[in-house]
Amino acid sequence: MSANAFAPYWTDSTDRRNTLIGRWSGWLCGEACFGVCVGIGGKTHGDTAKPTVFFGLGSPGASAEISADTGDMDSGLSGEVSCGYGTRNVKFSGEASGADVGYGTGVSTGKCSVRGQYTF
């Protein structure tokens, strides 16, 4: 296999959101939990940014994070499981376009949450 097989991933100027592992989107959010979780955030995908609100259940704590997620960015409802401690956060989510995995950094008191979110 030649390097040219991967050329579309770094030369397609119309869509730089393609990577060797597929689609990706960025995520910036803050969340507070004390049994019930509430948070706000934003997702980016290429040159598009969309606000997100979420509600759920989780262990007591607070977090702020920035992460990169596999998968595309959809508007509407989705579900997510997220755990973080210190400066690390990992999450798994399900959207209309499929399941995504994300990893990022931020600040967390150490908490896990299960939440539903709505992206406008």
Report if residue 5 sits inside a domain: no
Does the pLDDT value for residue 12 go beyond 50?
no
How many domains in the chain?
Answer: 1
Report if residue 8 sits inside a domain: no
Report if residue 14 sits inside a domain: no
More confident residue, 69 or 112: 112
Query: Buried (b) or exposed (e) across 56-87, using 16+ Cβ within 10 A?
Result: bebeebbbbbebebbbbbbeeebebebbbeee
Q: State which residues form the domain around 47.
A: 25-119
* Mean pLDDT along residues 87-111: 81
Report if residue 98 sits inside a domain: yes
Report if residue 18 sits inside a domain: no
Report if residue 3 sits inside a domain: no
Report if residue 63 sits inside a domain: yes
Does the pLDDT value for residue 112 go beyond 50?
yes
User: Tens of pLDDT along 57-77?
Assistant: 999 999 998 887 776 667 888
Report if residue 17 sits inside a domain: no
Q: By percentage, how much of the chain surpasses pLDDT 70?
A: 75
User: Given this model, what pLDDT does residue 76 score?
Assistant: 85
Decide if 67 contacts 102 (C-beta within 8 A): yes
Which secondary-structure segment (H or E) carries 46? none
Instruction: Name the residue type at position 19.
Output: T
Does the pLDDT value for residue 86 go beyond 80?
yes
